[in-house]
Chain A
Amino acid sequence: MKLRQSLVNTVVARGTSAMNNLRGVYTLWYRDILIFGRDRLHIISSVTLPLLFVFVFGIGLSARMGFLAPGIDFAQFLFPGIIGMTILMSSFTAGVSVVWDREVGFLKEVLVAPISRASVAVGKTLGTATIALFQGIIILLFAPLLGISLSAWTVLALLPLMLLLAVSMSSLGIVLATRIRSMEAFHGVMSLLMFPMVFLSGAFFPLQGLPAWMDVLVKLNPVTYGIAPIRQVVLGASPDSLFGINLLGHTMSLWENVAVLALFAAAMILLAMWSFGRQE
């Protein structure tokens, strides 16, 4: 009796403090990692498609295309794009897991817990983003097979770039999941959004000399600003080459790209936190 009195009272007295919210974020994050870690098949299957893209599609096309830039063939060009694609596709599953949780009922357990909804949204975002980052790193390990040499510095610089892309796409997935109730509808909307975002991001081809309509769509696509810096760092290429973005006559620097994506990520996270709180 004494124990339970004291637990309820001390916790209630503290209310929803910052500490409690952090704990909520951590718990949700940890659950995603735990489930992913248990599912070996998921880990393997999640990197199979990207590797096929690079080593079959990429190398196959390289044979005919030759070099895109001095010392860089198509497979090497494609490689960072595929890292971006892997992260994007994996991140969108944050939304799938929210819809799944709602369907199997677990979301209710989360929603009635004494943690803020915003911390739930952040925890889910970070959980999925971490998994997406992990998958991106697995792809990155294959770089030497394509003749791309990465220094420790390059890898260190890549991690925040990859994480930023992962966070922005995870939170977008969560925003969608709070609005779309059925799994079928969510899968529909997801592929409707995901594939155009991948195709129109410069993941597969350079962004120079595109038809005007495509050029507009590419530059409206936030993923574009996530792929370009990853590619520039992986290939050690400069932003004004075939690997950069020219926005209204201005060559976007690496930091400018990062700033655009960071703005998008911040907006999506805030939207996800707000949107999650409004669910009944």
Chain B
Amino acid sequence: MTDYIIKVEKLVKRFGKLVAVDDISFSVAPGEVFGFLGPNGAGKTTTINILCTLSKPTSGRATVNGFDVVRQQSQVRQSIGLVFQDPSLDVRLSGLQNLHFHASVYHMPASIRDQRIEQVLRIMELWDRRNSEVRTYSGGMKRRLELARGLLHYPKVLFLDEPTLGLDPQTRSHIWEYIHDLRQREGTTIFLTTHYMDEAENADRIAIIDYGKLVAMDTPERLKNIVGKDIISVKTDDNDRAVEEIRLRYRIEATRDSDGLTFEIANGEEFLPTFIREFDTKILSISLHRPSLDDVFLKLTGHEIRQEAASDEIKAIARQYGRRTRH
């Protein structure tokens, strides 16, 4: 096995004067959950489109599963599964028929097809509704069917482009359970794009992309360390004594606020148990605030990612609504 399953070198994509992807290089290891994080229009979907052969790069090179995305398109396509940002089901067919179509165009032998279809439908809890027309499915069910379809043909890499856009929080966390389960079960590499910070936390490694450029790439933990240390807030029965004790014991200068004190420390989660065990002053309450990826993004790019998120939600809702009325 090679040490990477996706390799991207100096990738550039221009649309006229607009540089959508600007000299990006990275690689993804087999079995990894790799997250592409950035606001809309940052170049995430453009990159995915190139990797899944829907679009050709202006310059640079990319391979998936060892195949060149320009010269070996059908091999790349056979190696990957996709869940697009926008729905891509035939709503006039049943869930089962959508999967049959997929199995057929992905050349699955009949001997393994039916068993596999049943398996993915059961994983996604859609088996009971397999014969209903997809137009009668809820938004979450459609997404799950798309996931079932994306992994049907045992892809080496599953691309998820904003997999939970416009879904309610409960459905989102459910879908993530399925994704983690899938990865454990089949060792599939997952390439994810998102502009939800909490969703990006699911990734082993995150690449932050902004205006087509790769700004940073690391594990969520290390990225958060860029911003600074964790913040611990403590309330004790004698705050003045606590400040003194922290200074002596850890050589950290805590700050007093109205009813407690706060101080910064690296790896707060590991520090906390020790702290509680050995601290002499009586602790009344304690809390740990970890820097979020929001803070990371802000620090690295100078602007917030969330600004566009709200309008995306509205667009997603409008899109769903538009579709429903058309049928």
Contacts and interface: CB of A to CB of B under 8 A. Distances in A.
Interface of A: 1, 3-4, 7-8, 11-12, 14-16, 20, 23-24, 26-27, 31, 34-35, 38-39, 101, 104-116, 280
B78 interface: yes
A4 B186 contact: yes
B78 to A, nearest CB: 4
Contact of A114 (B84, B89, B91, B107): B107
B54 A15 contact: no
Contact of B89 (A8, A39, A106, A116): A106
A259 B83 CA distance: 46
A106 B88 contact: yes
Nearest to A31: B101
A105 B54 contact: no
A109 B106 CA distance: 11
Given A1-B186, A35-B90, 19 more contacts: A4-B186, A8-B79, A8-B154, A11-B107, A12-B75, A23-B104, A26-B104, A101-B90, A104-B90, A106-B88, A107-B88, A108-B84, A108-B86, A109-B82, A109-B89, A112-B54, A114-B105, A114-B106, A280-B56
A105 B92 contact: no
Given A8-B156, A105-B86, A113 B77 contact: yes
Interface residues of B, number: 42
Interface string B37-74: 00000000000010011111000000001010000001
* Cβ-closest 9 pairs across A and B: A4-B154, A105-B88, A114-B77, A113-B105, A114-B78, A27-B104, A16-B74, A114-B74, A109-B88
Contacts of B97: 34
B154 A15 contact: no
Given A7-B154, A12-B78, A109-B88, A104 B323 contact: yes
Contacts of B141: none
B228 interface: no
A161 to B, nearest CB: 31
B217 interface: no
B195 interface: no
B52 A112 contact: yes
B180 interface: no
A108 B80 CA distance: 14
A99 to B, nearest CB: 13
B79 A31 contact: no
Interface string B122-163: 000000000000000000000000000100011110000000
A16 to B, nearest CB: 4
B79 A12 contact: yes
B324 to A, nearest CB: 12
B84 A23 contact: no
A34 B93 contact: yes
Given A12-B79, A23-B107, A24-B105, A116 B93 contact: no
Tell me the interface secondary structure of chain A in the complex: helix
Contacts, number: 101
B112 A1 contact: no
A108 B88 CA distance: 7
24 contacts: A1-B186, A1-B187, A7-B108, A7-B109, A7-B112, A7-B153, A7-B154, A11-B78, A12-B79, A23-B104, A27-B105, A101-B90, A104-B323, A105-B84, A105-B89, A106-B90, A109-B90, A109-B102, A109-B149, A112-B53, A112-B82, A113-B77, A113-B105, A280-B49
A15 B75 contact: yes
A38 B135 CA distance: 14
Interface in B300-325: 323
Contact of A8 (B74, B78, B92): B78
Nearest to A106: B90
Nearest to B85: A105
A206 to B, nearest CB: 42
A101 B49 CA distance: 18
A106 B91 CA distance: 9
B227 to A, nearest CB: 37
A105 B67 CA distance: 26
A184 to B, nearest CB: 12
Contacts of A24: 105
Contacts of B79: 8, 12
Contacts of B53: 112
A3 to B, nearest CB: 7
B151 to A, nearest CB: 10
A1 B156 CA distance: 10
Nearest to B49: A280
Contacts of B153: 7
Contacts of A106: 88-90
A92 to B, nearest CB: 19
A115 to B, nearest CB: 5
Contacts of A114: 74-75, 77-78, 105-107
Nearest to A115: B105
A3 B107 contact: no
Contacts of A31: 90, 93, 101
